[in-house]
Amino acid sequence: MERYEIEKLRSLPCEGVAQRLGLTVKHHKALCPFHDDHTPSFTFKNNKFKCWACGESGDTISLTEKVLGKDFREACRWLANENNVILSEYKSPSHEGEVRRGLFDASRYERYFSSPFLNEEARHFLFEERKLDERVVRWCRLTSWRDRRGVPWLQIPYYDQQGKLVGVQNRNLTAPSKPSRGKAYSHSPSGETEGGHPRFMFPRGSKCGIYNLPVLNLLKPGEPLYIAEGCSDCWSLLSA
């Protein structure tokens, strides 16, 4: 992780993180989760916590480490998933300023969609599970990648009506898309799969609102417009 990403996690509201961890916070105080506390001795100030009884103190990351029993990296991942903070897999020092400000930098991603590549997991998901038409996959410029932990992702571009890239959605391909018979599929409250990885990731600033807007340019007056719930439903409609 880059230093600015770690600082982003540290700057998250400590009281809000405490509440997501299960603490009840009132008037900047809570019962300490680290000892048998009956009167609130756990206080928040300057975006840090301190227990005046047992002496535990720290910031959002150390609070997450201690409450969940995670190491530093795992705590950072949990915080990122809980607060929709994307830890970048692709680094571009020349664009670090834009990333700091939370702007979506389309130039970092356009090249991936100009020459799409589908790995084995992506092809299985799109063509065997979803039964999609290959022409639809090409039209939507779907591509795939694998992160440093070996997790495969489907990368989905979102364009505005003029064809400008405005957002990217990454879908984890390690999770089943549908529940298997006799077993209900579930993911954690943080949106993680059974393997501990997030189900979806969005780069900072991604505007993933209405999908497939460029198709509006192909419609003639009076032609029907079909609206689906999500992008995968859109692929199925187009394929049909």
CA distance 215 to 223: 12
Percentage of residues of the chain with pLDDT beyond 90: 56
Mean confidence (pLDDT) of the chain: 83
Please write the tens of the pLDDT for every residue from 103-143: 888 888 888 898 889 999 999 999 999 999 999 999 999 99
Largest CA distance in the chain: 71
Q: Strand locations in the chain, DSSP E?
A: 29-30, 42-45, 48-51, 57-58, 143-146, 152-159, 165-172, 200-201
Over the stretch 185-239, which tens digit does the pLDDT of each residue have?
333 334 455 455 678 888 888 888 899 999 999 999 999 999 998 899 999 999 9
Q: In this structure, what token pair is assigned to residue 193?
A: 């799969």
**Confidence (pLDDT) at 49:** 95
Cα separation, 99 vs 75, whole angstroms: 22
Contact between 34 and 52 (Cβ < 8 Å):
no
8 Å CB contact between 52 and 59:
no
